[in-house]
């Protein structure tokens, strides 16, 4: 019986090289090949997942750093050090920006913790969208320090519900329809490649960023995500990022997503709009008599 | 710009006069089931609700649904006690409601005309039809189709309501003092995502997703999803409060029954300003056929109403070609700045007319 089981594993290994995908990740530990449980004929990705990387501060290598207002925020506002999650296409460890596009990243970083909504025309000109509680876009939503839930059933739609800003996004399976309009979370179309959920995302508004370091894109952003189950407790995530207006070539990020296992764990609300109202709108309030 | 411009429903005297005796009541399920099933791309038999099952055995509610209707929440006085209309009466009722809602008329001032054109642009055309079962109100209990009488509220709640009313009056007068003067929908904190779900002027779509032990309902506004466990787990602790509360579901036959608790206590969160301490809401979702789902909610609060009451709104499955798109709100909430900076400009110019906008309707829930 045991031999039979081992034989089955070997056959499985040959037939389903899902593990091969994982091993592309630099330094990813080698897990034995894994075949996820099935739901309606596909790998079952249901559950609450979370990344434990510090890429939301910076996708590339970064040292620990003070926050934008250390005189007020102290260590509360500081960012942790972290290693790059860029696994392909980097230039000297950095995102391959076109030379003409690099200045904007630096300016973004310098003004990351600012906001000025006094004019419709320049509403989004400065400041990290995260700072203002705007929807984070893709792939940033995946590696923010908040959990998200995948709801996968038998219909042609998969829901990803992110805790940050109660943002959601629908993945349209096997859809041929192009993005009908631009949106913050983009237009996601998915299909299965063996055990991997591949999601092609286009139709982004240009305002979202990749991280607090000011990394950004244009409305020509194209993201291809790959979600590959690697064990009952984790899956590998990869995203290929293309944007000919901003980058000289495609580049790729990758990291594991971990299943949250706490008993009765659920997404709680992080409706952050009220946390930003004074910042954004306080200057327009009625002035009190001195 | 005003995001909600819903006005109250008015009864039309001519219609009321034309109404005769009570018609036999037709339950919505029966009406819907006798309709010829449309060319739905489902393999299940559309005439038998029991066949709408997910592969793991739960009733199947998955899909994009729309709850728009012109049928008012409360039965208009003029229709009297009649709860269901004949086909002819229904046609007249529908025309009269549509007349009120479309604003496709030219009486009144030029300003009113422009206002109607604005509303016409945003109006969901499904909003111009009454429910398929020809009811005169969405409320099905009490039998008179009206919200039950209210009870005397505590001085604390009365004071809070007065403060909200004062804030709303400042907004309507074009003089909001601060962002806190706006309602939660205008502030993009909650819109139609907080239960109970009622039709509004636009964006009446809901997408339902299911997985084993979970139902997720994503109302079009605001890009959130209610994640409803149906696996029997307890509610989160009572000391955790949320804008959308905390929902738990279970299946009773073909019906998803959802109870929601743990609401925040901020003004405007609880439906019709009921008392968070005693308010209770139960929702029921029942798949009727390939194209129809019945949504029913019951609310009770002995500190607000003399008895519980129930409304039923049919949800129609929308064509697969029409998908639900992302609804951003806070991201481009120019209105808030316009309203506030406009108020500051009026104060500065000294052109304050507190009575000016008395007739304006705001979108207070």
The interface predicted TM-score of the complex, written ipTM, equals 0.89
**Residue A134 with chain B: CB contacts under 8 Å:** 328, 330-331
Nearest to B16 by CA among B71, B81, B73, B70: B81
Looking at residue B50, its pLDDT comes to: 59
**Whether A164 contacts chain B with CB within 8 A:** no
**Whether B187 contacts chain A with CB within 8 A:** yes
pLDDT tens digits for A158-194?
999 999 999 999 999 999 999 999 999 999 999 999 9
Q: Rounded to the nearest 5°, which phi and psi values hold at B211? A: -145, 165
Residues of chain B with pLDDT under 70: 1-50, 79-81, 102-106, 118-119, 321, 351-365
Instruction: Report residue A157 as tokens.
Output: 């739609």
Q: What is the pTM of this model?
A: 0.85
- How close A87 comes to chain B (CA, Å)? 31
Q: Is A13 part of a structural domain of the chain?
A: no
Instruction: Report residue B186 as tokens.
Output: 């205008």
Alpha-carbon distance A284 to B6, whole Å? 27
Test the A interface: residue of B225, B241, B247, B329 with most A CBs within 10 Å? B225
Alpha-carbon distance B365 to B359, whole Å? 17
Chain B from 1 to 40: CB within 8 A of any A CB: none
Q: Is A271 part of a structural domain of the chain?
A: yes
CATH 3.40.50.300 for domain B46-69+138-165+189-334, yes or no, is no
Q: Is A125 part of a structural domain of the chain?
A: yes
Which of B54, B223, B341 has the CB atom closest to A154's CB atom? B54
A39 or B119: which leads in pLDDT: A39
The 3-class secondary structure across B188-211, one letter per residue, is: CCCCCCCCCCCCCCCCCEEEEEEE
pLDDT tens digits for A194-215?
999 999 999 999 999 999 999 9
CA angle, residues A15, A16, A21, in degrees to nearest 5:
140
Nearest to A194 by CA among A60, A28, A42, A1: A42
B311 DSSP assignment = E
- How close A169 comes to chain B (CA, Å)? 8
Domain ranges of chain B: 46-69+138-165+189-334, 70-136
Q: Is A22 part of a structural domain of the chain?
A: no
* Overall number of domains in chain A: 1
Q: Is A206 part of a structural domain of the chain?
A: yes
Looking at residue B109, its pLDDT comes to: 82
- Closest-CA residue in chain A for B331? A134
Which range has the worst mean pLDDT, A65-69, A284-288, B182-186, B196-200? A284-288
Which of B62, B236, B332 has the CB atom closest to A154's CB atom? B62
| Residue A220: domain span | 38-66+83-284
Chain A from 60 to 89: CB within 8 A of any B CB: none
Q: Rounded to the nearest 5°, which phi and psi values hold at B60? A: -100, 110
Size of interface A-B (CB pairs under 8 A): 136
């Amino acid at each position: 019986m045991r031999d039979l089981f081992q034989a089955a594993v070997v056959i499985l290994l040959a037939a389903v090289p899902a593990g091969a995908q994982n091993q592309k990740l630099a330094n990813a530990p080698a897990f034995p090949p894994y075949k996820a449980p099935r739901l309606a004929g596909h790998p079952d990705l249901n559950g609450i997942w979370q990344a434990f990387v510090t890429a939301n501060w910076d996708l590339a290598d970064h040292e620990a750093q003070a926050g934008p207002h250390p005189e007020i925020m102290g260590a509360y506002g500081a960012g942790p050090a972290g290693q790059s999650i860029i696994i392909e296409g980097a230039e000297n460890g950095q995102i391959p920006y076109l030379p003409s596009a690099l200045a904007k990243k630096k300016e973004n970083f310098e003004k990351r913790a600012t906001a000025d909504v006094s004019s419709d025309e320049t509403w989004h000109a400065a400041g990290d969208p995260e700072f203002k509680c705007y929807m984070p876009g893709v792939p940033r939503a995946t590696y923010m320090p908040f959990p998200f839930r995948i709801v996968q059933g038998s219909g042609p739609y998969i829901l990803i519900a992110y805790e940050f800003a109660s943002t959601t996004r629908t993945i349209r399976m096997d859809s041929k329809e192009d993005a009908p309009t631009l949106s913050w979370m983009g237009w996601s179309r998915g299909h299965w490649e063996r055990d991997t959920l591949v999601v092609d995302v286009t139709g982004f508004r240009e305002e979202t960023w990749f991280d607090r370091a000011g990394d950004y894109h244009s409305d020509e952003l194209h993201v291809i995500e790959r979600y590959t189950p690697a064990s009952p407790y984790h899956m590998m995530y990869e995203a290929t990022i293309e944007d000919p207006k901003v980058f000289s070539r495609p580049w790729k990020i990758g990291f594991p997503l971990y299943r949250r296992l706490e008993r009765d764990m659920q997404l709680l609300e992080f409706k952050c709009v009220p946390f930003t109202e004074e910042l954004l709108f306080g200057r327009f309030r009625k002035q009190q008599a001195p | 710009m005003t995001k909600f411009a819903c006005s109250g429903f008015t009864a039309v005297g001519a219609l009321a006069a034309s109404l005769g005796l009570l018609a036999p009541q037709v339950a919505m399920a029966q009406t819907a089931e006798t309709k010829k099933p449309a060319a739905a791309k489902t393999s299940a038999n559309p005439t038998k609700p029991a066949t709408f099952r997910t592969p793991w055995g739960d009733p199947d509610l998955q899909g994009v649904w729309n709850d728009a209707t012109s049928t008012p929440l409360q039965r208009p006085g003029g229709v009297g006690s009649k709860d269901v209309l004949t086909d002819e009466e229904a046609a007249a009722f529908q025309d009269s409601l549509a007349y009120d809602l479309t604003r496709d008329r030219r009486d009144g001032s030029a300003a009113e005309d422009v206002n109607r054109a604005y509303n016409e642009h945003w109006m969901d055309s499904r909003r111009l039809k009454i429910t398929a079962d020809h009811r005169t109100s969405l409320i099905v209990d009490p039998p008179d189709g009206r919200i039950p009488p209210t009870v005397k509220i505590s001085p604390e709640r009365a004071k809070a309501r007065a403060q909200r009313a004062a804030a709303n009056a400042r907004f309507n007068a074009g003089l909001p003092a601060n962002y806190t003067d706006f309602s939660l929908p205008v502030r993009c904190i909650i819109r139609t995502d907080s239960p109970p779900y009622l039709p509004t002027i636009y964006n009446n779509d809901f997408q339902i997703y299911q997985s084993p032990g979970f139902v997720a309902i994503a109302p079009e506004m605001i890009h959130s999803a209610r994640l409803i466990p149906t696996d029997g787990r307890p509610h989160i602790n009572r000391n955790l409060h949320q804008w959308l509360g905390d929902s738990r579901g279970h299946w009773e036959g073909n019906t998803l029954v959802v109870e929601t608790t743990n609401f925040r206590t901020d003004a405007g969160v609880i439906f019709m300003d009921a008392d968070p301490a005693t308010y209770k809401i139960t929702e029921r979702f029942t798949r009727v056929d390939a194209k129809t789902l019945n949504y029913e909610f019951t609310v009770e609060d002995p500190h607000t109403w003399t008895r519980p009451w129930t409304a039923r709104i049919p949800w129609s499955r929308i064509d697969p070609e029409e998908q639900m798109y992302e609804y951003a709100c806070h991201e481009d909430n120019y209105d808030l700045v316009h309203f506030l900076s406009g108020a500051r400009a009026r104060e500065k110019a000294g052109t304050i007319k507190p009575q000016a906008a008395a007739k304006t309707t705001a979108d207070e829930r």
